[in-house]
Amino acid sequence: MEHAHATVPTVVHAVSYLRFIVLFPLLGVLFNIFLGQRLGRKAVNYIAPGVVLLSFLFSFVAFLRLPEDGALVDTVWPWITSGSFHVDFALRVDPLSALMILVVTGVGFLIHVYSTGYMAHDEDVARYFAYLNLFTAAMLLLVLGENLLILFVGWEGVGLCSYLLIGFWYTDDEKASAGKKAFIVNRIGDAGFLLGLFLLFWSLGEKGVWTLSFSEIQAHASALSVETVTAICLLLFVGATGKSAQIPLYVWLPDAMAGPTPVSALIHAATMVTAGIYMIARLHFLYSMSTTALAVVAVVGASTALFAATIALVQTDIKKVLAYSTVSQLGYMFLGLGVGAYTAGVFHLMTHAFFKALLFLGAGSVIHGMSDEQDIRNMGGLKSKMPTTYGTFLVACLAIAGFPGLSGFFSKDLILEEAFVSEHGSWLLWLVGTVGAGMTAFYMFRLLFVTFWGETRASHEVASHIHESPVSMTCPLVVLAVLSLVGGYFTLLHFLSPVFGEPHEAPLPFLVKYLPTLVGMSGIGLAYQMYVRDPDMAERLGQQFSGLHQLLANKYYVDEMYDAVIVRPVAAASNWLWQVWDTLVIDGSVNGTAHWVEANGLLLRLWQTGNVQNYALSFLVGATVILGYYLW
Amino acid sequence: MVPISYHLILSAILFTIGVMGVLLRRNTIIIFMAVELMLNAVNLSFVAFARQLGSMDGQLIVFFVMAVAAAEAAVGLAIILSVFRNRETVNADELNLMRW
């Protein structure tokens, strides 16, 4: 399937209700900050998910009223006007953003509901929901923005909320620094994003088009040279690697698991990390112009997909496995985008939002039931004690593993097929993706078997406490499980065609079509063999290949390498700048000026004898001189 | 009739004595008296010119000066008195509290 040249949606309906989609969560923020603490947990538990539900309803209305082959635009106010350049604070819904706002508010609402149960024992629930609502508002701004500037505001907003939420339990040093790490790594990406933005703005401006609006950029993009477009796309992609956790900037996401688990589900699985995917899909007309940029996106995506999957194979922290799995799945989305199959990438974004949110929430339910235990080596045998969690977790595992008929099967297969047949794809990308798919199935079922099957390995005290989670937590699980089951049948191909163009069908070799599924099923089988039928096998293999095992368990020492190559030199340089440049040179010159003034003051004050008669004498001399001057 | 130059010379001599007194003496009361002397030296020239020109203006100003001088003497002496009560001295060299 190949995408024809996308047409710019021409039918634009001016409406004025899109602003409420963003406004409701913002009101929720204000409520939680100013009244949340006073009115108590109960009010917060209703208001915080309630505002997101309202947003969802408005999003649904927008979705229903979306004109065929067109878009809804809500111009709230003119924002910046400078000569012929002007930016409106405008929100726009076309099929792509309609899908995004439905996912953000829908999955977001479920996670808000889940949070009311998960955070039931936390003191600071009002602050938590204030951040969560703020995040929702920022994410909605990101996907609704009619121009790059609003997108950037949302882009930074979600980054900030991510920092606030990862470091939510800020009294724990490790968690607070995980938040900082996420923020700093994202800033590095954002620097690239900003440069790309400036380059796009200036190079379009040189052609006489001063604009940041998506539709106008799309209309005038053909005026740009391919080299410029390549540079713009690559710079913007740097931003995407930061936000969407791709090589080389993925390192923040695994650490981000320090935040409360529903946050991981919302931000680091379902919504924020998809911002990079969304941005590229939104600017697909630019990326389509540059073969180089597309190739870079595809290669980075495919390598991340495989690289992160290998790390996930041996992790023992339930959330870390899911974190690396997220990085890997985001890689698949970029692979889809990079081979020009934007629809496939966005399709996987949606199904991934369902099953990955479900996996994280399921993990949260397990952690909740196990009295905050996260190490899967201390779990086991939860199947009978947490039946709802187990059932939904199983559905999610099957979905992500690509079991035929479930959501992940459709979207991942679509990406892999496109990787093979697209003119931007190659068999190598397909192969990497297929191997990654096998690993995905393996590590997910390893997680499932080790956590839920077999005998319990928890301490007696913990084991006696294990309980199924409250209804507020299991309900979202069930809804997400249903979505993971049927999400693959929401065929987006036609729905998104006004944005990306109509896809073409292409003949596909038999092997290419069925091998990924087959590999996925064998991954499940291998996990069953290694962790259920012969539980010692994993141990034996680990010892046999202890070097490899160490390498994977230590995540390829990437954090250590970054620490040695980047963090320490930067810290040393900063230290030098502080000790030498700042203290010596800058403070020195400032203090030097002060000392010079003081020395002169000391000299000058010798004139001030304090003797009245000396002053009187100078008075007399002055008077005599003036008098003499006039009389002369 | 005595020529005006005689009056003016006397006035200049008195004024110079006053200036010297202000600059050279250390006792604040003497300095104060020297200031009064300067005022009266000026008064003398005013009166002399008034008579020479047959105008009342100069004499009028002299009355103003004398009134102001009286007020000033009251305030000035009060200040000197309270300084003396605080510092046990009226020597201008020792009154250097405002110095750095």
Separation CA A327–CA A536 (nearest Å): 29
Asked if A605 is an interface residue toward chain B (Cβ–Cβ < 8 A), one would say yes
- Would you call B23 and A616 a contact, using CB atoms and an 8 Å cutoff? yes
Let me know the angle formed at the C-alpha of A133 by A318 and A367, rounded to the nearest 5 degrees.
20
**Of residues A79, A41, A54, the one with CA closest to residue A133:** A54
**Of residues A144, A147, A128, A109, the one with CA closest to residue A21:** A144
Nearest CA in chain A to B96: A610
Nearest CA in chain B to A606: B100
Asked if A623 is an interface residue toward chain B (Cβ–Cβ < 8 A), one would say no
pLDDT given at position B11: 95
Let me know the angle formed at the C-alpha of A115 by A113 and A118, rounded to the nearest 5 degrees.
125
**Interfacial A residues in 451-480 facing B (CB < 8 Å):** none
B interface residues, A as partner, C-beta within 8 Å: 19, 22-24, 26, 31, 92-93, 95-100
Read off the pLDDT of residues A312-330 as tens digits, 9 standing for 90 and up: 998 999 999 999 999 999 9
Helix (H) / strand (E) element for B83: namely: helix B57-87
What one-character-per-residue DSSP string does A284-339 give? HHHHHH-HHHHHHHHHHHHHHHHHHHHHHTT--BHHHHHHHHHHHHHHHHHHHHHT
CB pairs under 8 A between A and B: 26
For the entire predicted model, the pTM comes to 0.80
Largest CA distance in chain B: 56
Per-residue DSSP letter, A172: S
Q: Which residues of A touch B34 (CB under 8 A)?
A: none
Nearest CA in chain A to B25: A613
Three-state DSSP string of A121-143: CCCCHHHHHHHHHHHHHHHHHHH
Separation CA B76–CA B79 (nearest Å): 5
Separation CA A366–CA A363 (nearest Å): 5
Q: Which residues of B touch A613 (CB under 8 A)?
A: 22-24, 26, 31, 92
Nearest C-alpha of chain A: how many angstroms from B38?
A: 13
Largest CA distance in chain A: 122
Nearest C-alpha of chain A: how many angstroms from B29?
A: 14
Q: Are A455 and A380 in contact (CB under 8 A)?
A: yes
- Would you call B92 and A613 a contact, using CB atoms and an 8 Å cutoff? yes
Nearest C-alpha of chain A: how many angstroms from B94?
A: 9
Q: Are A363 and A261 in contact (CB under 8 A)?
A: yes
Q: Going by DSSP bridges, is the β-strand pair A70-82/A85-93 parallel, antiparallel, or unpaired?
A: antiparallel
- Weakest-pLDDT range from A197-206, B45-54, B85-94: B85-94
Residue B72: pLDDT over 50: yes
Q: Which of B24, B96, B97 sits opposite A611 (nearest CB)?
A: B96
* Cα A624–chain centre separation: 83
Separation CA A457–CA A490 (nearest Å): 41
Nearest C-alpha of chain B: how many angstroms from A621?
A: 11
pLDDT given at position A424: 86
Q: Which residues of B touch A609 (CB under 8 A)?
A: 96, 99
Best to test chain A binding among B17, B23, B97 (most A CBs inside 10 Å): B23
pLDDT given at position A6: 47
Q: Which of A605, A610, A617 sits opposite B23 (nearest CB)?
A: A617
CA atoms B67, B73, B79, B81: torsion sign = negative
Separation CA A116–CA A515 (nearest Å): 43
Let me know the angle formed at the C-alpha of A253 by A472 and A420, rounded to the nearest 5 degrees.
100
Separation CA A361–CA A265 (nearest Å): 6
pLDDT given at position A189: 93
Nearest CA in chain A to B94: A611
Separation CA A478–CA B65 (nearest Å): 104
Best to test chain A binding among B15, B16, B17, B19 (most A CBs inside 10 Å): B19
Q: Are A441 and A517 in contact (CB under 8 A)?
A: no
CA atoms A174, A175, A179, A185: torsion sign = positive
Segment-wise mean pLDDT, segments of 10 residues, chain A, 632 residues: 46 88 95 89 91 95 86 91 89 92 94 91 90 95 93 94 92 91 93 94 90 90 92 95 92 90 88 92 92 94 94 92 94 93 91 93 90 86 88 94 89 90 88 93 93 85 83 91 88 79 74 86 90 83 85 87 91 93 93 94 83 85 94 88
Burial class (CB in 10 A: 0-12, 13-18, 19+), B50: middle
Best to test chain B binding among A611, A614, A615, A621 (most B CBs inside 10 Å): A611
Q: Are B95 and B79 in contact (CB under 8 A)?
A: no
Separation CA A224–CA A226 (nearest Å): 6
Domain B27-91 bears CATH identifier 1.10.287.3510:
yes
Q: Which of A609, A610, A620 sits opposite B23 (nearest CB)?
A: A620
**A85-93, strands of its sheet edge to edge:** A11-14, A70-82, A85-93
